[in-house]
Structure 1
Amino acid sequence: MGTLFKQIYRYTHARPFRHNENLWPYMKIGRSPTGEIASLRYKGQQVPLADLSALRGSCRGPLLLTATGPSVKTIRFKTPSPLPAMGVNGAWFLQQQVGFRFYVVVDMGFYDQKGDVIAGIIGDAGLTLFTTAHGIARILDRYGLAAVQCTLALIEDAAFKIYQPKIEAPALRDAYAGDPSAHFAPDRPDIGFSTDIRHGIFDAGTVVYWALQIAAYLGFGEIFILGLDMNNFHQPRFYETEENKQPSYLAESLTQLVIPSLRHAADTLRRQAVRVVNLSPHSAIDESIFEKADYHAIFN
């Protein structure tokens, strides 16, 4: 039946709407006046969602943002964690050390390959998980709504909003020209940074870029990032081994997209009076972008 609906969708919708084909007709949404998806029904079930407007500016002070580079293995964590923490993807393996309050998973490949991690995340009642409509569909299809104990915060890629046409990368700046919360790099119409995630989040090939936009929106004034190595893609992530490591495609976009985007994020956050500190001492993201510091010098 799913294949039939997909074929019907393709025949009745133009190619710019193709990113919605796996959701139609199972997902019904309602948007608030500020643009975000405020209500969602999936296969007849109403899905509770966090109120993104209520989350805006709800936090203060510093945040520990944990990525997954191999350098995380060198950290001797101070327990209990001195800061509230936000994790991405496989950082979940640090839950006992840092006690995540926020989490971000937007890679559908991660949902497909790391079901045990997703099960742990959604089973944590003290956690807010930021994910997309496609991520929520995967969660509900594989675990059921009853298994979801965390709070779901629905976010969207600014270029691929649900039931709206895709915006091609070179057209992003023009599409968001009237949105003062969408900040674009001076020389790159395809590199944006949002300070209001209700209007969509700009992608840059790495989930850390999404997390920075979310953290700033939540109101954190300092962001300390672990595992932002970006220079050892042949090595397993801190939670992997040579035998079970998943491929990384960041090396292919590092120079042309990831680094220019992080530089733009740094400039935008600086103007917003948000300090970002990279705790990966040998990171390819140099100090002209984010200042560097040693975790143990700061927290121990």
Structure 2
Amino acid sequence: MGSFFKQLYRYTHKRPFRHNENLWPYMRISRASSGEIISLNFRGQTVPIVDLSSLAAAHSGPIMLTATGPSVKDIRFKTPASFPAMGVNGAWSLGNVVDFRFYVIVDMGFFDQRPEMIAEIVADPQLTLFTTAHGIARIIDRLSLARIRCRLALIEDAAFKIFQPKIPASELGRCYANVRSASFAENRPDIGFTTDIRHGVFDAGTVAYWALQIAAYLGFSEMYIVGLDMNNFNKPRFYEAENNKLPTFLAENLEDLIVPAFTHASQVLKKKNIRVVNLSVHSAISSQIFEKADYHQVFG
């Protein structure tokens, strides 16, 4: 039946709507005047989601963003954590030494390849999980709505909003020109950064870029990032082994997309008086973009 609806959708919708084909006709949404999805029904079930407006500037002070580069293995984390953390993908493995209050997963491949970890994440009632409509659909299909105990915060890729046409990367700057919270890198209409995630989050080939935009929206004024290596791509992520590492496209995107995007992000965040410290001292993201420091010197 699913393939029938997919074929019907393709027949009745133009190609720019193709990213919605796995959700139609199973999902129903409504939006606020500010653009974000405020109600969600999937396969006849009402899915509780967080009101994104309630999260705006709801926090302050420092947060730790935990990416997953190999350098994380070299950190002796100080416990208990003195401030909250936002994890991405497999950073959940640090749950015994890091106080995760927020989590971001937007890679559908991670949902497919790490179901046991996903089950643990969504079972944590202290956690707010930021993910897309496609991510929520995968969780419910594979685990059931009843097993979700975390808070779900539904976010969207600014270029691929649900039931709206895809925006080509070269058109993003023009389409978001009137959105005050969105800014674009000079001569790069495809590289955006937002401080209001209700309008959508801009992608730059890495979930860490999503995490920066979310943390800024939440109100945090200091961001300490671990695992933002952006090198040694042949090595497993800190939580992986050689025999189970997932593929990565970071190397292909590094110079043309990722570095320019983080450069733009650093400029936006500095203007907002938000300090970002990269605790991966050998990171390919240079100290001209984010200041670098050794975790053990900062936290003792």
**TM-score (ref. length: structure 1):** 0.99
**Is there any run of 5+ residues in structure 2 with no aligned partner, and where?**
none
Letter in 1 for 2:70: P
Q: Which residue of 2 aligns with 1:169?
A: 169
Distance between the aligned counterparts of 1:170 and 1:34, measured in 2? 24
Written as runs of structure 1 = structure 2, the 5 A alignment for 1:151-190 is 151-190=151-190
Distance between the aligned counterparts of 2:256 and 2:269, measured in 1? 21
Letter in 1 for 2:145: L
Kindly state the Cα deviation for residue 120 of structure 1 after the two structures are TM-superposed.
0.6
Task: Work out whether 1:32 is the aligned partner of 2:32.
Answer: yes
Distance between the aligned counterparts of 2:181 and 2:99, measured in 1? 31
Task: Work out whether 1:66 is the aligned partner of 2:66.
Answer: yes
Residues 66 and 85, structure 1, Cα contact 8 Å, conserved in 2: yes
Residues 82 and 299, structure 1, Cα contact 8 Å, conserved in 2: no
Kindly state the Cα deviation for residue 247 of structure 1 after the two structures are TM-superposed.
1.4
Aligned-residue RMSD, C-alpha: 0.5
Residues 231 and 284, structure 1, Cα contact 8 Å, conserved in 2: yes
Task: Work out whether 1:107 is the aligned partner of 2:107.
Answer: yes
Written as runs of structure 1 = structure 2, the 5 A alignment for 1:80-229 is 80-229=80-229
Letter in 1 for 2:168: E
Task: Work out whether 1:251 is the aligned partner of 2:251.
Answer: yes
Partner of 2:97, secondary structure, is: helix
Q: Which residue of 2 aligns with 1:22?
A: 22
Q: Which residue of 2 aligns with 1:233?
A: 233
Partner of 2:96, secondary structure, is: helix
Give CA-to-partner distance per residue, 1:8-57, whole Å, 9 cap, x none.
10010010000000000000000011110000000000000001000000
Distance between the aligned counterparts of 1:8 and 1:246, measured in 2? 33
Q: Which residue of 1 aligns with 2:10?
A: 10
Distance between the aligned counterparts of 2:278 and 2:233, measured in 1? 18
Partner of 1:5, secondary structure, is: helix
**How high is the sequence identity, in percent, across the aligned residues?**
66
Residues 130 and 154, structure 1, Cα contact 8 Å, conserved in 2: yes
Residues 83 and 99, structure 2, Cα contact 8 Å, conserved in 1: no
Kindly state the Cα deviation for residue 108 of structure 1 after the two structures are TM-superposed.
0.2
Kindly state the Cα deviation for residue 245 of structure 1 after the two structures are TM-superposed.
1.1
Give CA-to-partner distance per residue, 1:126-158, whole Å, 9 cap, x none.
000000000000000000000000000000000
Kindly state the Cα deviation for residue 244 of structure 1 after the two structures are TM-superposed.
1.3
Residues 71 and 227, structure 1, Cα contact 8 Å, conserved in 2: yes
Distance between the aligned counterparts of 2:240 and 2:208, measured in 1? 19
Partner of 2:129, secondary structure, is: strand
Partner of 1:234, secondary structure, is: coil
**Number of positions where the alignment pairs a residue of Structure 1 with one of Structure 2:** 300
Kindly state the Cα deviation for residue 237 of structure 1 after the two structures are TM-superposed.
0.4
Residues 52 and 198, structure 2, Cα contact 8 Å, conserved in 1: yes
Distance between the aligned counterparts of 1:51 and 1:96, measured in 2? 29
**TM-score (ref. length: structure 2):** 0.99
Distance between the aligned counterparts of 2:173 and 2:44, measured in 1? 37
Kindly state the Cα deviation for residue 106 of structure 1 after the two structures are TM-superposed.
0.1
Kindly state the Cα deviation for residue 90 of structure 1 after the two structures are TM-superposed.
0.2
